[in-house]
Amino acid sequence: MSIQIPRGTQDILPEQSKQWQYIEQFSRNMCGAYQYHEIRTPIFEHTELFSRGVGDTTDIVQKEMYTFEDRGGRSLTLRPEGTAAVVRAFVEKKLYGLPDQPTKLYYTGPMFRYERQQKGRYRQFVQFGVEALGSQDPAIDAEVISLAMNTFKGLGLQELVLKINSLGDTESRLAHRQALINHFQPHIHEFCEDCKGRLEKNPLRILDCKVDHKHPLMQTAPSILDYLNEESKRYFEKVLGYLDVLGIEYEVDSTLVRGLDYYNHTAFEIMSKARGFGSITTLCGGGRYNGLVEDLGGPETPGIGYAFSIERILLALEAEKQTLPVMQKMDAYIIALGEEATEKAVKILQTMRLAGISCDKDYQQKKMKAQFKQADRLQATFVIVIGEEELQKEKAVVKKLATGEQTEVAFADLLSYMKQAKEEKE
């Protein structure tokens, strides 16, 4: 039997790859405009980073990590998310000491979680994430959210819903925590084993349970918004105020708690309401994590960020029937007839390629007609024909496929002709 791709992973074939590249490039450009800069961290980290940074009580750490021992006996884990590693690097490389703060970063790359495979949920997926470290200004919460929204809108998504909540500061969270314990404790025997464990460790996570989400006590659970102290309330109102200024619509959703332990104050998700998107509608999740830098050994530093996966963006685009303006890239296809013409073609190809003109030729000894057909299929703008006659005249026949227009261009002028044609097209 032939070997098959591991469950929960995907091959991205060249046609799809173009879409991936487009989304990645678009997102990078948007980050550039907002002055966020790329950071690249390793694919694997010490396991402890995630158990501390993501949190021992989370599903990710408890059930989903790809953890292995290396040959030196160290426990390493394929990264399940990006924030912990970015914060590790921020602390380790002392980025907090740089004169320009906040430190505005973005990253992209594969993440790994041992999850049950379904549409929109993979075991290897590519996240694009943003982190702003070193500012506790509600305007930066709004900036981060607007960066996500504008990235999605710029990619053509329209049916978006921004859900936002505040988890408050430590004092508010503690008050809410106690209220949750009081609420769930008398009935905790009706909940799943995980929730029983969460009751004392992190009762907020009960609200996020995938097993018990229909239990009646979930609907009546105390809302964090009723437990926000004055400062937390004010902070939240300011964030919402900036969103209003930016014209970004939102829904306050007091049940929104993020799966990771380190969030406080602002928590948000961007969902797709497109029909046909499927049961998983979250495109992007993020929020504020003011204790994380300290937890990972750095100075007290506030942070906020989000991540989305390219996979879910593609699903949302498909559900909205949006296509990306992926450019066809072939400028010219050269048809050479005979040995000598082929040598000429090989040389011309190199000259043009080095000048940024994308071009190709046949490598399968196809007949001329088949080569024209191939050029058509590849959507080449021009076909350049070089035969014996052309060699003698030192000219090539250049045919524009869209119109059938045909001209002779001297070999010496071919490059500038193609360059000009490309410029006009763009």
Q: What are residue 97's phi and psi, to 5 degrees?
A: -85, -10
**Distance in Å, CB of 284 to ligand AMP, minimum:** 5
Q: CB of residue 280 vs ligand AMP: minimum separation in angstroms?
A: 8
- The smaller minimum CB distance to ligand AMP, of residues 172 and 309, is found at 309
Q: Least distance in Å: CB of 140 to ligand AMP?
A: 19
Name the strand (E) or helix (H) holding 120. none
The SS3 call for residue 44 is: strand
Q: Could you give the dihedral angle defined by the CA atoms of residues 413, 417, 419 and 420, in that order, rounded to the nearest 10 degrees?
A: 140
Nearer to ligand AMP, 121 or 233 (CB): 121
Whole-number minimum distance, CB 148 to ligand AMP, in Å? 10
Residue 383 and residue 401 in contact, taking contact as beta carbons nearer than 8 Å:
yes
Rounded Cα distance, 265 and 232, in Å: 7
Q: Which is nearer to ligand AMP, 243 or 271 (CB)?
A: 271
C-alpha 164/C-alpha 54 separation (Å) is 21
CB of 83 to ligand AMP, least distance (A): 8
User: Which is closer to ligand AMP, CB of 121 or CB of 419?
Assistant: 121
3-class state of residue 207 by DSSP: helix
* Amino acid occupying residue 287: G
Q: How many CB atoms lie within 10 A of CB 113?
A: 20
**Could you tell me the smallest distance in angstroms from the CB atom of residue 117 to ligand AMP?**
9
In a 13 Å sphere around the CA of 59, the CA atoms on its Cβ side amount to 15
CB neighbours of residue 55 within 10 Å: 23
The minimum distance between CB 123 and ligand AMP, in angstroms, equals: 7
Residue type, 24: E
The Cβ of residue 28 has, within 10 Å, a number of other Cβ atoms equal to: 16
Considering the complex, state which of residue 202 and residue 371 has its C-beta at the smaller distance from ligand AMP: 202
Which residue lies nearer to ligand AMP by CB, 122 or 382?
A: 122
Pick from 311, 377, 326: nearest CA to 18: 326
CA 322 from centroid of its chain's CA atoms: 18
Q: Which residues pair with 163 in a beta bridge?
A: 251, 269
Tell me the Ramachandran region of residue 94: left when phi exceeds 0, alpha when psi lies from -120 to 50, beta otherwise. Answer: left
Size of the chain in residues: 426
Which residues are near ligand AMP by CB under 6 A? 81, 113, 115, 120-122, 125, 127, 259, 282-285, 307-309, 311-312
Distance of alpha carbon 250 from alpha carbon 268, whole angstroms: 10
Task: Enter the DSSP assignment of 62.
Answer: I
Q: Which is nearer to ligand AMP, 81 or 141 (CB)?
A: 81
Closer residue to ligand AMP, CB minimum distance, 280 or 330: 280
Select 121 or 183, whichever has its Cβ closest to ligand AMP. Answer: 121
Evaluate whether 271 touches 249 at the Cβ level (below 8 Å): no
Closer by beta carbon to ligand AMP, 113 or else 173: 113
H helices of 275-360, in order, are 292-295, 310-319, 339-354
Q: How far is the CB of 393 from ligand AMP (least distance, A)?
A: 58
Closest approach, Cβ 8 to ligand AMP, in A, equals 8
Q: How far is the CB of 97 from ligand AMP (least distance, A)?
A: 28
Helices and strands: H and E segment counts in the chain: 15, 16
- Smaller CB separation from ligand AMP, 125 or 236: 125
State in angstroms the smallest separation of the CB of 271 from ligand AMP. 9
